[in-house]
Structures are given as structure tokens and as C-alpha cells.
């Protein structure tokens, strides 16, 4: 007989937690995979034992992506899509509010509670001097309905009204073009 304490509750997707530490130069090569998460129990074991985003040093990045997809504009699942950036201003937001948005984002993705979640490939949490940047990586072209859904699920309308967050969207193909024009070098293609 299986005890309820031994049961595992699967997630709709397997997610890979990765990180990039500070003082690294090559975005495509600096990420280290930590663990694949495919059930609720593993999700909570991992996230109850890693630092919250506000505790990290400047330049540290966590990623939480569907397995096999990375935080690269050139990835086949990302290239035709866009990225929604949510900037959390540490001068206007408490640590508790930042941690709450970080946690709510992870729970919404893992729990598949965003109506358009099938189009969300993953999320990055980037520690900046001014706060935290949360970026949703979306597999389809810019879509304001998706932005509205993410705002609704995470309760961002209130924070936006109070000027605690700033939100922008970028087209991934345009980002590749911009990067190539700045450096005259192609970024490595993620395959």
C-alpha cells in the first residue's frame, strides 16, 4: 500500500533550474544546470533550500525553463517569440514584495496557472543594482493579451500603479539584430 507521504504529484512540464554567477562573460556558456523538476515535492524541496532572489549578489541569474529550452534568443523555441521584462525597483518595493513576486512567478509557472502558459518557455531572475529583473520568455510574437494575463495572475496592476515595477516587451529576433549590430560579432547559436 502506498502512503500519501510517498506519493509524488507530477507537474505538467519538467522544468530545469539553472544559474549564472557573477563575473561571467559568455551568456550562452555560463549557465549551470542545477536540477530538473517534474513534481511538486521536488519543486518545494529545491526552492525551500536556495537563496531568495533579494539575497543574491549583483549579476547573479536564476533561470527556470521547460527542459531542453534555455535563456537564448536564438533557441528554436524562443527565436520567433518575445520577452516580457518586469523590473522590480528595490527603492520602491520591500524585500518581502520582491520575494513574493519571485515565488508567485515560480508557482504560477510550475503549477501551470497562467492561461497562456503553454507559450511560456521559461523565466529568468536577474539581480541588478536597482533591484530584480524578471523576464518571461514567450514562444510566440508579441501579444498584449499574454502580458495582461501575466499581470493579472501576478497582481502586477497594483504594483505598476504604485510605480513599484516597470514592464517592457522585446521582440527576440530584433534583440539578436541589435546585439549583432553592437558587436559586429554573432552570438553563439544555441542548438
Closest CA to 51 of 118, 117, 98, 87: 98
Nearest-angstrom CA–CA distance, 26 and 31: 9
Residue 11 has pLDDT above 90, yes or no: yes
At 96, give phi and psi (nearest 5°).
Answer: -60, -40
pLDDT band at 183 (very low <50, low <70, confident <90, very high): low
Q: Grid cell 522585446 — which residue?
A: 170
Whole-model pTM: value is 0.85
Q: How far apart are CA 49 and CA 184, in angstroms?
A: 42
At 65-115, the pLDDT tens digits run 999 999 988 899 998 989 999 999 889 999 999 999 999 999 999 999 988
CA atoms of 77 and 92, how far apart (whole Å): 35
130-174 pLDDT, tens digit per residue, is 889 999 999 988 877 888 888 888 888 888 888 888 888 888 778
Which domains are present in the chain?
Answer: 10-23+31-183 (3.30.760.10)
Three-state DSSP at 87 gives strand
Q: What is the pLDDT of residue 191?
A: 29
Band (pLDDT 50/70/90 cuts) for residue 13 is very high
Amino acid at each position: 500500500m502506498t502512503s500519501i507521504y510517498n506519493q509524488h504529484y507530477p507537474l505538467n512540464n519538467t522544468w530545469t533550474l539553472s544559474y549564472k554567477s557573477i563575473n561571467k562573460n559568455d551568456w550562452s556558456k555560463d549557465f549551470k544546470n542545477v536540477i530538473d523538476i517534474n513534481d511538486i515535492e521536488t519543486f518545494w524541496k529545491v526552492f525551500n533550500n536556495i537563496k531568495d532572489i533579494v539575497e543574491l549578489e549583483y549579476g547573479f541569474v536564476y533561470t527556470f525553463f521547460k527542459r531542453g529550452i534555455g535563456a537564448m534568443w536564438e533557441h528554436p523555441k524562443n527565436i520567433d517569440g518575445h520577452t516580457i521584462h518586469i523590473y522590480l525597483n528595490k527603492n520602491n518595493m520591500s524585500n518581502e514584495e520582491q520575494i513574493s513576486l519571485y515565488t508567485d512567478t515560480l508557482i504560477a509557472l510550475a503549477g501551470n496557472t497562467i492561461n497562456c502558459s503553454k507559450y511560456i518557455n521559461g523565466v529568468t531572475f536577474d539581480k541588478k543594482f536597482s533591484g530584480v529583473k524578471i523576464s518571461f520568455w514567450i514562444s510566440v510574437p508579441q501579444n498584449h493579451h499574454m502580458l495582461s494575463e501575466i499581470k493579472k495572475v501576478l497582481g502586477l496592476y497594483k504594483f505598476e500603479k504604485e510605480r513599484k515595477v516597470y514592464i517592457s516587451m522585446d521582440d527576440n529576433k530584433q534583440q539578436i539584430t541589435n546585439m549583432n549590430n553592437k558587436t559586429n560579432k554573432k552570438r553563439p547559436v544555441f542548438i
